[in-house]
Amino acid sequence: MKMPRGGRLFLATSLGSLLVLVLYFQSITRPEAAVKTGGRPGKSSRSPLQSLLDGDELELSAVQRSLRGRRDLLEQACRNHTRKRRVLSPEDLKHLIVDDKHGLIYCYVPKVACTNWKRVLMVLTGDGRYTDPLSIPANEAHVAGRLRTLSEFSTVEINQRLRSYLKFLFVREPFERLVSAYRNKFTRSYNTAFHKRYGTKIIRRHRAEPRPEALAAGADVSFGEFVQYLVDPRTQREEPFNEHWERVHSLCHPCLIRYDVVGKYETLEPDAAAVIRLAGVEDAVQFPASAKSTRTDGDMAARFFKHISPFYQRKLFNLYRMDFTLFNYSTPQYLRTR
Ligand SMILES: *[C@@H]1O[C@H](CO)[C@@H](O)[C@H](O)[C@H]1NC(C)=O
Ligand SMILES: *[C@@H]1O[C@H](CO)[C@@H](O)[C@H](O)[C@H]1NC(C)=O
């Protein structure tokens, strides 16, 4: 890192984004107020997205109604739970994938069907290079630079896109996502990069008298040790969480960026189809049907939490509480916090 030059550049970008993002907020608060008070009658020429945003209840399908309900709830929860309006920097926008051709912004959240969404966006932005999302190997979908992210644009371009594009993200029950991340990164022998990078540190810190082989490989982290690592204040002081267990709230900034659609993993198929329809790309691509066999569900999460003490369950719940609240997930039945 070349500090002096990078520092100046960063300062310049930050100042620029401060200015322009303020403009973005002004522009989104106004139409919002207009929708609330106006109750405008529907027009036949509206796009599907406009119907979703301000259409009559009667015109909306059940899926659209539930999408709108979620969006309204998110807005309300944000008003209730966030005090200050922080200013976004381009660094905050690294998870927002941009499709300029179709006017789409997708915030990707690992462990929530993000490989398939990235494949879909590669088809949409690929100028005919791909037609079938599933023909794209998973590792290729994750190569950095294949898809453009909003952080790569200038602040003016960022704000143009935030104002006019269809913005969506997909979320999942936070603890099911967490257990899924744990199983994928720490219980599969092939994930040696994660074992080295995180496993060795977790074992060093959270295991009493570890064997030298365990310390060296970091390959047998237990779920309990992983939880201790997450709630340890040192962890986030040292570096941000890895994206696989970082909260959606921190990855996608749903209280600062007004997403049009909040899809859920629990209703992935209808929600994905609704997004594709709203985006007007149903002729170009279909969301791949997923294999359900390896899904982490509530029962599995309950089994993993059984061996976590109430003390740590409570701490972990506090850590992920905002994701539960913003996306209307209820406190899991199995949770013991006392
Ligand atoms: C929030 O969750 C509750 C309980 O699961 C459900 O009944 C309600 O419809 C949800 N609200 C929205 C807006 O999705
Ligand atoms: C926000 O606060 C209002 C007023 O206290 C309450 O009625 C509403 O249920 C809250 N909504 C959410 C999503 O937290």
Asked if 189 and 263 sit in the same domain, the reply is no
Residue numbers of the domain that contains 12: 8-173+252-294
- Predicted TM-score of the model (pTM): 0.85
Taking CA atoms only, the protein residue closest to ligand 1 atom 6 is: 328
Q: Any idea which ligand is nearest the CA of 173?
A: 1
Asked if 19 and 144 sit in the same domain, the reply is yes
Asked if 269 and 238 sit in the same domain, the reply is no
Asked if 116 and 150 sit in the same domain, the reply is yes
| 289-302 pLDDT tens trace | 876 555 667 789 99
Q: Any idea which ligand is nearest the CA of 329?
A: 1
Cα 88 to ligand 2 centre (Å): 25
| 37-72 pLDDT tens trace | 222 333 334 466 666 666 666 666 888 888 999 999
Residue 61 has a pLDDT of: 80
Checking phi first, is residue 145 left (phi over 0); if not, alpha (psi -120 to 50) or beta? left
154, 147 Cβ separation under 8 angstroms: no
Taking CA atoms only, the protein residue closest to ligand 2 atom 12 is: 77
Which among 241, 206, 234 has a CA at the least distance from the CA of 221? 206
Q: Name every protein residue with a CB atom under 6 angstroms from any ligand 1 atom.
A: 69-70, 73, 328, 330
Asked if 67 and 212 sit in the same domain, the reply is no
Asked if 212 and 185 sit in the same domain, the reply is yes
How many Å apart are CA 134 and CA 149, to the nearest integer?
22
Q: Report yes or no on 163 lying in a domain.
A: yes
| 294-326 pLDDT tens trace | 566 778 999 999 999 999 999 999 999 999 999
| 163-173 pLDDT tens trace | 999 999 999 99
Q: What is the mean pLDDT of residues 253-270?
A: 95
Give the amino acid at 127.
Answer: D
How many Å apart are CA 338 and CA 325, to the nearest integer?
20
How many Å apart are CA 134 and CA 93, to the nearest integer?
27
Q: Report yes or no on 72 lying in a domain.
A: yes
Torsion sign (Cα): 102, 57, 254, 241: negative
Asked if 184 and 157 sit in the same domain, the reply is no
237 φ, ψ (degrees, to nearest 5):
-70, -35
Q: Report yes or no on 40 lying in a domain.
A: yes
Taking CA atoms only, the protein residue closest to ligand 1 atom 7 is: 328
Cα 138 to ligand 1 centre (Å): 33
